[in-house]
Structure 1
């Protein structure tokens, strides 16, 4: 799968996904400091899923109706970075077919999916 990882994503998550064979463009490496709308636009242009720990992306896609290929919100605060990385990789491997065109929330207790508006 192809991902754009926002700066809010732990480097260990990016590394685990890359080691598993996924393509990950990491904003912290490519274009640090760009605004959320630019990150969302980059993910759309790349036809990639957006990985983030920033809840503001929910505002962009649900209230402001910005289009997205899919967003994965990582809500694993307090867990060690390696544990977070293992959880995210497990979700990608188990639920990969559900991730496109969804706003997915990964928390310690559950994984939730909400369908995004379809692109024209």
Structure 2
């Protein structure tokens, strides 16, 4: 099963939505861990074998500098960051790309409206 950890910059509504879709999803905000540094979030993500979902571009940099191939990160590059739009974009991505995601579980994935890029 694919497991997600949603960064504090995403709404807990998105975590609930992913759970409703059948994924194991946790929210940093709901877990009351919003105070953690990125490095601590990465430790949790790796320990629990989760894919972090974030708007924070710093995670992309961390992936390239230190974590390439060691963990999965989905960076959302969206102008409209409302939970409804995020849920819609993730739903479209997951309905089309779940198999590819499973094969590239430790990749950096950049999602923009209308495009997805897998970076190994």
TM-score range, shorter chain: 0.7 to 0.9
- Structure-2 separation of matches of 1:102 and 1:90: 19
Displacement of 1:78 after TM fit?
2.2
Any idea what SS the aligned residue of 2:29 has? helix
Q: Any gaps of 5 or more consecutive residues in structure 1?
A: 116-120
Does the Cα contact within 8 Å between 1:16 and 1:89 map onto a contact in 2?
Answer: no
Q: Any gaps of 5 or more consecutive residues in structure 2?
A: none
Displacement of 1:93 after TM fit?
2.6
Runs of 4+ in 1 over 4 A off after TM superposition: none
Larger CA deviation: 91-100 vs 46-55: 91-100
How high is the TM-score relative to the length of structure 2? 0.85
Displacement of 1:79 after TM fit?
5.0
Does the Cα contact within 8 Å between 2:75 and 2:111 map onto a contact in 1?
Answer: yes
How high is the TM-score relative to the length of structure 1? 0.85
- Structure-1 separation of matches of 2:62 and 2:73: 11
* Deviations 1:30-86 (CA, angstroms, capped at 9, x unpaired): 1121011111111100011111110000111102x1354211111122254212211
The residue number in structure 2 matching 1:110 is 115
- Structure-2 separation of matches of 1:80 and 1:41: 27
- Structure-2 separation of matches of 1:96 and 1:39: 23
Does the Cα contact within 8 Å between 2:6 and 2:15 map onto a contact in 1?
Answer: yes
- Structure-2 separation of matches of 1:12 and 1:114: 27
Report the RMSD for the aligned CA atoms in angstroms: 1.5
